[in-house]
Amino acid sequence: MSKGCGRLREKAYLWIMKRLIAILCACTAISCAQNTQSEELVVPDGAFLAVNPLTFTDIPDNDVIRVGEDFYMVSTTMYFCPGAPIMHSRDLVHWRIVSYIYDLLEDDDVYNLRDGKHAYGAGQWATSLRFHDGVYYALFASNDQQKSYLYRTKDLVNGPWERTVFDDYFFHDPGLLFDDGRLFVVYGNGELKLAELSSDGSAVIGEPRVIVRAPKWRMGLRAEGCHFYHIGDYYYIVEIDWPKGGIRQATCWRSKAIDGPYERKVVLKGTLDGREKDGIAQGPVVDTPEGDWYAIQFQDHGAVGRIPTIQPVTWEKGWPIMGRAGKPMQAVAVKLPVDPAGDYVWASDEFETQQLALVWQWNHKDPGDASLTARPGWLQLQAHPGDSLSRTLGTLTQRTVGPRCYSEVLLDAGELGTGTEAGLCAFQSHSARIGVIREAGGFALVAHEKEKEIWRLSLPATVASAAASSASVPVWLRIRYVFTPRDPGDEADTAFLSYSLDGRNWTELDYTLEMKYTLDFFTGYRSALYCMGPSGTAAFDYFRQWVY
């Protein structure tokens, strides 16, 4: 199939529509945000209005640093590879993925999905990012490996990264601090420990000691997600906790001595978007070149995942109070020039480059056999055997985006081997997928909820005859995600599967996936391209995702 001029016109049309929809959504959000503020929000000259969330997609456990006029953010991606994305911004609002800290954490049974092992709900968590004397440092614990990793580089975008593995230390949700020529880390849950590292972070000096004992709740979180600072006269630990009967909140501990004693204050407590139980907390505070301060804190947002917000920080009697008097704000005046580079944490892809775009991550290990060059303009995925999609290598994923979005692919199934299925999946523990399977007698469209087949349609004779003459079996597949309902009859956190045999006329299945954010996977829903079975390849002409 030739892409030709028609493809160029279609791409231009889609790009224009995406920008128009984004502008309309932003205008609507700004209007709503202004109406929901308890006081009139003043946007001073040289500032712009940011409307939360920053990006309506899964970017949790972030840490942010400033180097000159550039801001860099790292986030949790757990079992996806490459892992620990580095994002860049000039305005703290618009973020672009520019690199990853590692391609593969360990080449073991876990990341090869062998012998029933996996890293779901585990992997890389809550990385601490710092810059000191021309070197970037990133420290995190891996829950599947039960050890800690410190990476360092002089080039955050291009690497290379050098790493140290701490086999005997599990630095849960760490916070790094360079202080007066020494390097420290605070970490833990409930009881926060202080450890000193060697100047390059390659070794632990002495024994860690407890410096904070958080209040004990009968349920919820106790002081984790640490961010560690020395600002002015005080050492600060900013963390997340969840008291009994309350919601998640951002709490700050401070002391004039690094090893305490520390006093405690809640600095942000509340919620947004009508989500009564989903508090906003966990993340850093960061200053701008002009001396203004902001906090980036995430909010649980159902099936789409944990989404970042920006909150202003006001220093009151030496405490970093976030939002407006400690309550989160929907709209925030950000005193920085707007970053013209815009956002790049999810995107459509025409597969016209020779390397995968940075918005893509593999479920566990990259099998190394996908190709963007064997059939120029197409992504080819090799078949990998497995009894379930979550136990099969070679699944390529990208974040979904709220409040509602479509993901669409054009699949050529003509090179599938008998018994192999390929298609598009709404990927989480409670998943649904729609694809094409090649059988001894021809091809069939199939849909599954997890591994249970819920629908099947043999491809019509016209498609079968075309396949016999050209070895090409084109099928268009689509998933419609509803995280926040807009249309009558839609429910929150639902997804719908569709197919087309000509790219123009679509049929939506009489089926609804009730999406669930579950802790066994611990990530927001992603759209995934897959090719599962004994043999053959699947070719994808494009992946398109847009908000509606």
In a domain, 306, yes or no: yes
Q: Are 480 and 547 in contact (CB under 8 A)?
A: no
Domain match, 372 and 258 both:
no
Q: What is the pLDDT of residue 218?
A: 59
Say how far apart CA 444 and CA 436 lie, in whole Å: 6
Domain match, 120 and 179 both:
yes
DSSP code of 415? Answer: T
Domain match, 113 and 62 both:
yes
Q: Are 480 and 486 in contact (CB under 8 A)?
A: no
Domain match, 170 and 28 both:
no
Q: 334, 357, 392: which is the final residue of a domain?
A: 334
Domain match, 32 and 116 both:
no
Q: What is the pLDDT of residue 154?
A: 98
In a domain, 157, yes or no: yes
User: What three-state secondary structure class fits 8?
Assistant: helix
In a domain, 341, yes or no: no
101-117 pLDDT, tens digit each: 999 999 999 999 999 99
Domain match, 405 and 268 both:
no
Say how far apart CA 169 and CA 166 lie, in whole Å: 5
Task: For the chain, count helices (H), then strands (E).
Answer: 2, 38
What residue numbers bound the domain in which 291 lies?
Answer: 37-334
Which CATH number do you get for residue 237?
Answer: 2.115.10.20
Q: How far, in Å, are 102, 154, 358 from residue 157 at the CA level?
A: 12, 9, 12
Q: What is the pTM of this model?
A: 0.92
In a domain, 174, yes or no: yes
3-state secondary structure 164-201: EEECCCCCCCCEEEEECCEEEEEEEECEEEEEEECCCC
In a domain, 216, yes or no: yes
Count of CA atoms in the C-beta half-sphere (13 A) of 261: 4
Domain match, 405 and 539 both:
yes
Domain match, 194 and 306 both:
yes
Q: What is the pLDDT of residue 7?
A: 46
Domain match, 23 and 126 both:
no
Q: 291, 307, 334: which is the final residue of a domain?
A: 334
Say how far apart CA 54 and CA 77 lie, in whole Å: 18
Domain match, 306 and 377 both:
no
Both tokens of 170, joined, read: 């599990």
Both tokens of 189, joined, read: 């849950």
In a domain, 210, yes or no: yes
Residue 134 corresponds to which amino acid?
G
Q: 334, 361, 382: which is the final residue of a domain?
A: 334
Both tokens of 489, joined, read: 């009859």
Which CATH number do you get for residue 393?
Answer: 2.60.120.200
In the chain, how many domains are there?
3
Domain match, 3 and 110 both:
no
**Strand 204-213 versus strand 224-231 pairing type:** unpaired
Both tokens of 158, joined, read: 């291009």
In a domain, 407, yes or no: yes
Measured in whole angstroms, how far is the alpha carbon of residue 235 from the centre of its chain? 30
In a domain, 339, yes or no: no
> In terms of Cα–Cα distance, which of 200, 137, 211, 203 is closest to 169?
203
How would you classify residue 29: left for phi > 0, otherwise alpha for psi between -120 and 50, otherwise beta? alpha
Q: Are 404 and 481 in contact (CB under 8 A)?
A: yes
Domain match, 32 and 130 both:
no
What are the respective helix, strand and coil percentages of the chain, to the nearest 5? 10, 45, 45
In a structure prediction context, what are the per-residue pLDDT tens digits for the chain, which is 548 residues long?
Answer: 445 444 444 444 443 444 444 444 444 444 444 444 445 788 988 899 999 999 999 999 999 999 999 999 999 999 999 999 999 999 999 999 999 999 999 999 999 999 999 999 999 999 999 999 999 999 999 999 999 999 999 999 999 999 999 999 999 999 999 999 999 999 999 999 999 999 999 999 999 999 999 988 655 679 999 999 999 999 999 999 998 889 999 999 999 999 999 999 999 999 999 999 999 999 999 999 999 999 999 999 999 999 999 999 999 999 999 999 999 999 999 999 999 999 999 999 999 999 999 999 999 999 999 999 999 999 999 999 999 999 999 999 999 999 999 999 999 999 999 999 999 999 999 999 999 999 998 999 999 999 999 999 999 765 655 555 557 999 999 999 999 999 898 999 999 999 999 999 999 999 999 999 999 999 999 999 999 999 999 999 999 999 99
